[in-house]
Chains A and B, each alone.
Chain A
């Protein structure tokens, strides 16, 4: 089995072993090295940086951002970019990544956050207020502010200061399948339709076959914070949390919206100071949704982002569901003809208040290149940049915050025909507000979604579920006192 050669053999063996390992590691080393961090490398070869380049590290979707970056670099060749990509994942998961980066001291310059995280980053002083820059460059920005509804701006404020310039938003409107409604012989909903009209349509479009199995559902929703059943809470004149207005913000409103009646009563940003989960209006709303579930109008409510929901809608098994502008392109991708669906405002109940979420870039307070970051942020919300942004071009993946960008052309290919609804939700209804999202929005959302699911599967009555939710939300708030007051 073994020839005797003592040391010599073993040395050779050892070398052979090392050789194998080295070869393996060499294979790994042949792996493509991290591509050049310059976005400029997108075009032919790496752009030779001039002296004193700034590198901006941005959390974006590289593909969508590339056209904007290219445009920016035409006038600012001294700025390079490094992309940090966290796409394809729901806003919740982004936190894990950002958190880890911050924890390990990896500074970014620009982040991208939605309503759910705005107050968290602002309150924790992770994001830098942009008031000074905005006021300094007010002339350039006037045009932007006139094109963007104050509701969206207000959602990006915290305790009197502005932190983000909103780029895209989505309000929950009611999408309906025109074919399904036609088959049921019901008319399409009008702008001022009521909850009862909704119920009638839902009932008429719900079809069961002989054995009682469902063929079409009148209404469905996915259990999450935005959309979900929050729109019903809003139209019933309530909210999950108590609302307050922070002080401050006059500089913004008088500076940019001086003649706009829509800014009346707006202050320095939203405060959600205490829970009121089991407010009778909320219980009434949840009762209503549970009732129509029991009547077979709604399928079992599942968690998640809405994959299955889209499937039903596109295959004509679902009449109505709430969704935002982001659905237009996505339904087209799923194969729906642009006249097979349309959109309308949420029905009126006690009022017709809508909820939305919006998002924009934010500047890391600890970043090293804040000036350059601001320059980029400012550029990004310019009309040209927004038109070129992969979010809106060639397919509209989400709703632009600029009123002027919502045109018939944009939605001609994908639908819906009634696209004006998207911005009408803001313009015609100044009471439209962002989804409640205090700094503790993550655990709050978990509680909201958890108890909702238990109500909708019959485990708890809506009242009991909301009572439980209220209690836990109160505990959560108790663990995080003075979120708003101690911030400044």
Chain B
């Protein structure tokens, strides 16, 4: 993010340089350099920008526009202005969807980041190399499963009467838990499954971040008597904060858009207790054939993600420490 200042600086410089009487010298003048750099910049970006314009930006604009219409695909779209937005504000199902997404993200992302950090720290401590390797491999394995397959498998294992989980819980005296049939438990199950699937990635990020903390700093801290919690709070955490930010940002963006796992596991049930905003959007568009309304929800979701991400970056100035 610190690149903002440098961009402006250079643009300013080349502007003044262009009045330089020596501007006719091409190859190695700074202005020529800057111009060629700019051109290269656009060239390098070309495939990505083109692709995104065609396949993302365009469709997104289309969604924005569609949210002002009522369209069920079979008949022509009908202009209704912002009626869908008004409807959404009073639609308890849509509001529940956003609320559920919020709850899900708050718990899932914070736990994901926390667990990832804890696991990474555990793997940093002294242990046999083979053991460390085994643990690392194991924790990364769930990343390989698809959301759909995870939903199926864990759905079976969490079955109240015949699932493996309740069986083992029963062996230690815990009565069967209605994992997928009670609203609160259903959300817990979805969050747990998501954590199972995605914590490995967070762990890897933190392993990287932690490894980059030079041992000298840690040793110096030790010497100074800072140990354990103090050391963690005052040294480790700040040094790993850029990674924390990346993990949090990508975690939130991903968490707000997760679809396959909850959809296949609970279909949003029981009732609406695990129905996320994305699910409400999908069902409005494809099941209820209200494409306009679905687009409305998509637009609002997009704005929410944008706001949250911007907020995260804004706040990050306070707590993220760059070397």
Contacts and interface: CB of A to CB of B under 8 A. Distances in A.
Instruction: Check A-B contact in the complex, CB < 8 A.
Output: yes
Interface in A450-465: 450-451, 453-454, 456-457, 459
A126 B289 CA distance: 14
A203 interface: no
Contacts of B162: 308, 311-312, 317
A159 B178 CA distance: 45
Contacts of B73: 99, 102-103
Nearest to B87: A479
Interface in B249-295: 266-272, 283, 286-289, 291
A442 B287 contact: yes
Contact of B161 (A96, A299, A442, A443): A299
A459 B183 contact: yes
Nearest to A453: B270
B160 A300 contact: yes
Contacts of A184: none
Contacts of B182: 457, 459
A110 B238 CA distance: 63
B159 A453 contact: no
B281 to A, nearest CB: 12
B75 interface: yes
A95 B289 CA distance: 9
A453 B178 CA distance: 13
A303 B267 contact: yes
Nearest to A212: B175
B42 to A, nearest CB: 16
B289 A299 contact: no
Residue of B72, B75, B156, B286 with most chain A CB atoms under a 10 A cut-off: B286
A301 interface: yes
Contacts of B287: 92, 95-96, 442-443, 446
B26 to A, nearest CB: 13
A451 B161 CA distance: 22
Nearest to B72: A124
B178 A300 contact: yes
A308 B271 CA distance: 20
B180 interface: yes
A213 B178 CA distance: 14
Contacts of B266: 303
Nearest to B166: A213
A16 interface: no
Interface string B127-160: 0000000000000000000000000000010011
B74 A443 contact: no
A367 to B, nearest CB: 14
A49 interface: no
B190 to A, nearest CB: 13
Given A302-B180, A308-B159, A457-B178, A96 B286 contact: yes
Interface in A277-308: 299-304, 307-308
Nearest to B182: A457
Given A124-B74, A126-B74, A459 B271 contact: yes
A28 B291 CA distance: 34
A483 interface: no
Contacts of A443: 287-288
Nearest to B167: A213
Interface string B292-318: 000000000000000000000000000
Given A102-B73, A213-B170, A450-B271, A95 B181 contact: no
Contacts of B170: 213
B159 A302 contact: yes
Contacts of B180: 300, 302
Given A300-B178, A317-B162, A450 B269 contact: yes
Contacts of B74: 102, 124-126
A442 B178 contact: no
B160 A299 contact: yes
A96 B285 CA distance: 8
Contacts of B288: 440, 442-443, 446
A457 B159 contact: no
A417 interface: no
Given A124-B75, A303-B266, A446-B287, A453 B160 contact: no
A457 B283 contact: no
Contacts of A262: none
A307 B73 CA distance: 33
Residue of B72, B75, B267 with most chain A CB atoms under a 10 A cut-off: B267
23 contacts: A95-B289, A126-B74, A300-B160, A300-B161, A301-B181, A302-B159, A302-B181, A303-B267, A303-B269, A308-B156, A308-B162, A317-B162, A442-B287, A443-B288, A446-B288, A450-B270, A450-B272, A453-B181, A456-B270, A457-B270, A459-B183, A459-B270, A459-B271
Q: A-B pairs with the 3 shortest C-beta distances?
A: A453-B270, A96-B286, A124-B74
Interface of B: 72-75, 156, 159-162, 170, 176, 178, 180-183, 266-272, 283, 286-289, 291
Given A99-B73, A450-B269, A454-B183, 18 more contacts: A92-B287, A102-B74, A103-B291, A124-B72, A124-B75, A213-B170, A301-B181, A303-B269, A312-B162, A442-B287, A442-B289, A446-B283, A450-B268, A450-B270, A453-B270, A456-B270, A457-B183, A459-B271
